[in-house]
A and B are shown apart, each in its own frame.
Chain A
Amino acid sequence: MKPAAAQKVSAADIFVTFLVIGATSFGGGVVAYLRNALVTKKKWLDDSHFLELMSISNTLPGLNATNMSILAGDRVGGTIGSIAAMVGMCLPGFIFMTVAGILYGEHGDRPLVTAALRGVAAAAVGLLAATWFQIGKKSIKGFYDAFIVLAAVLGVNHFKLSVPVVLLSAGALSIFIHRPAEEHPPEKDSEWIRFLR
C-alpha cells in the first residue's frame, strides 16, 4: 500500500530542497530546518504530518536528520523521493567530513591544530550536554523515567555493560513500564509492580 502523499513532487525538486537543508543546517538542529522548509516554505506537509513522522523517526535507530529525510521524501515523492531526500541531506556533510579527515591526517599533529581541537572538543561537550539537558527536561516524566535514565548511565559508565545489553534490557523494562493500560485492571499487581507504579 502506497502512503497517500499530500502531493506528488518531482525527485529533482526534493533533492535540491534537501541538499540545501543538508548544506545549511548546523549543530544538530536539523529538525528545525526541516520543519521550516517542508511545512512553512514548501507546504509539502502539514504540522500534524510532520509530528507523526518525527515520532516514527525518534522510535527507530538512525539519526533524526536522515530518518526524517527518508520518511518525508517517501510521503511526497515515493521511493525515488525518499532516496533523493536522503542523498541530498547527506552529500554536503559527507564531502565536508571527508575533506576534514584528509586535512586532519595532514595537519592534525601540529601543536596549534591540536590546541584548537582540544578547545573544539570541550565546546562540543558543552553543546551536547545542553542539548540533552533540554531534551531531558521535556521528556523525563516522573520517578520511573528518571530511574531508567540513571540505570542506563550507570550500566554503561559504572558497570561497563555494553551499549546493546543496556539498550535491550533497559528498553524492555521501560517499554513494559509504559505498557498499554489493560481494559480490565488485573485482579492484583505483584508487589513490586505496585511499588514501581
Chain B
Amino acid sequence: MDQIPAIARVFAYLSLLTIGGGMAAYPEMKSLVVDVHHWLTNAQVIHIYSVGQMAPGPNMMMVAAMGERISGLAGAAVAALAFFVPTGILTFGVGRLWRRLASWPWRASIQQGLAPVAIGLAVAGLVTFGKGSITGWVTAAIGLAVFAATIRTKTNPALLILGGAVVGVIALR
C-alpha cells in the first residue's frame, strides 16, 4: 500500500511522454520500474508489456497489470488512472480550444514537427525493448516472421502474438 503514491507519480509522469504512442515511454518506464523503484525485473516488464499487445482497447492498459503486480488491485486502479486521466484532461481542454487555434500558423508546425520525434522515440523504445526480448535465433525468427506477416498480410495482430506463444512453448522450453 505504501507504494501507491509512487505508482501514481511514476505512471502519470510516463503518460506525458507518450507522444505518438506508448512505445516512446518504454525506456523511461524500464528505468523507473526496474532500476529506480525495483518493483519488477526487466524480464517481468517485457512479459507484461508483451501480453498487453493482446489486450483489447488501448495498448498501454498493461500499466494496470504492472500496478497489480506492484500493489494488488489498488495498484492496478491507481496505475491506470494516473496513466490515462491527466493526459485525458489535457486532450479534452485542447480539443475545446482547437477551433480557436485553427488559424494559428504554428499549429501545423507543431503537428509536422512532432511526427519525426514521435517516430524516433518509438524506434528508441523498440530498440530497448528488443534488446531484452530478442535473445537468440528462435526469438529473432519469431520477430522476423511476425514483422513480415504484418507488412504483407492483414492477419489479426492478436493471432500473431498467440502464434509467438505457441512457437515459444515448442522451441524455447
CB distance from B56 to the nearest CB of A (A): 5
Residues of B within 8 A of A92 (CB): 56-57
Decide: A97 near B55, CB < 8 A? Known: A122-B134, A126-B142. yes
Contact among A30, A86, A104, A176 with B84 in the assembled complex (CB-CB below 8 Å): A86
Decide: A3 near B117, CB < 8 A? Known: A63-B22, A90-B84, A180-B106. no
A8 to B170, CA, bound (A): 53
**Are the C-beta atoms of B127 and A153 separated by less than 8 Å?**
yes
- Does any Cβ of B come within 8 Å of A151's Cβ? yes
Chain A residues touching B, range: 35 or more
- 1/0 contact trace for A22-45 toward B, CB 8 Å? 111111111000000000000000
- Does any Cβ of A come within 8 Å of B6's Cβ? no
- Does any Cβ of B come within 8 Å of A134's Cβ? yes
**Are the C-beta atoms of A112 and B169 separated by less than 8 Å?**
yes
Q: Which of B88-123 contact A (CB under 8 A)?
A: 88, 90-92, 94-96, 98-100, 105-106, 108-123
**Are the C-beta atoms of A145 and B116 separated by less than 8 Å?**
yes
A28 to B158, CA, bound (A): 9
Residues of A within 8 A of B91 (CB): 56-57, 60, 62, 66-67, 70-71
**Are the C-beta atoms of B124 and A155 separated by less than 8 Å?**
yes
- Does any Cβ of B come within 8 Å of A177's Cβ? yes
**SS class, residues of chain A in contact with chain B:** helix
A96 to B167, CA, bound (A): 23
**Are the C-beta atoms of A180 and B61 separated by less than 8 Å?**
no
**Are the C-beta atoms of B151 and A133 separated by less than 8 Å?**
yes
**Are the C-beta atoms of B151 and A134 separated by less than 8 Å?**
yes
A92 to B57, CA, bound (A): 7
A172 to B114, CA, bound (A): 9
15 of the cross-chain contacts (CB-CB < 8 Å) are: A55-B111, A63-B21, A92-B56, A94-B64, A97-B52, A97-B64, A120-B50, A125-B129, A125-B146, A126-B147, A129-B130, A135-B119, A150-B120, A166-B120, A176-B113
B: residues with CB less than 8 A from A are: 15-25, 27-28, 31, 44, 46-69, 73, 76, 80, 84, 87-88, 90-92, 94-96, 98-100, 105-106, 108-130, 132-135, 138-140, 142-151, 156-158, 160-161, 163-169, 171-173
Given contacts A56-B94, A116-B169, 20 further A-B contacts (CB under 8 A): A26-B56, A30-B58, A58-B118, A65-B57, A97-B51, A97-B62, A98-B73, A98-B76, A100-B65, A120-B164, A121-B164, A123-B146, A126-B149, A129-B130, A130-B147, A145-B115, A152-B116, A152-B121, A167-B121, A176-B113
Give 4 nearest A-B pairs by CB, closest first: A119-B168, A152-B120, A123-B164, A27-B157
A: residues with CB less than 8 A from B are: 1, 3, 21-30, 52-53, 55-67, 70-71, 74, 79, 82, 86, 89-90, 92-94, 96-98, 100-102, 104-105, 108, 111-112, 115-136, 139-140, 144-146, 148-153, 155-157, 162-164, 166-167, 170-171, 174-180
